[in-house]
Amino acid sequence: MAQIRAEIVPPNGGVAVLSRLENLHRALADLPAPCRTVVLLHHREGLSFDQVAQRMNCSPETARRLWLCAVRLLGERLEDSDVGS
């Protein structure tokens, strides 16, 4: 997380950016493990859904569905955290 802060948060403060990054980090951590794994493999490691499916021993369609579930859950959780801010 400190590395993310150093790379993304502007030196002139960026408190709102930091708050959103922390909310995203919490929301990712709260995802069910399969959903979190798909997000990390697809976005952080840049793998295709076919490659994600191979790593996770599932079909590409299952990998896509897990990703869609993760995106929906992240959207809900981040929207809730924005409302509470």
Domains and CATH numbers, the chain: 32-85 (1.10.10)
| Dist. CA 54–CA 82, nearest whole Å | 35
Q: What is the pLDDT of residues 2-49, one digit of tens each?
A: 444 455 555 655 667 777 888 888 999 999 999 999 999 999 999 999
Quick one: which of 83, 13, 85, 74 has its CA closest to 66?
Answer: 74
pTM given for the model: 0.74
Tell me what the mean pLDDT of segment 58-80 comes to. Answer: 94
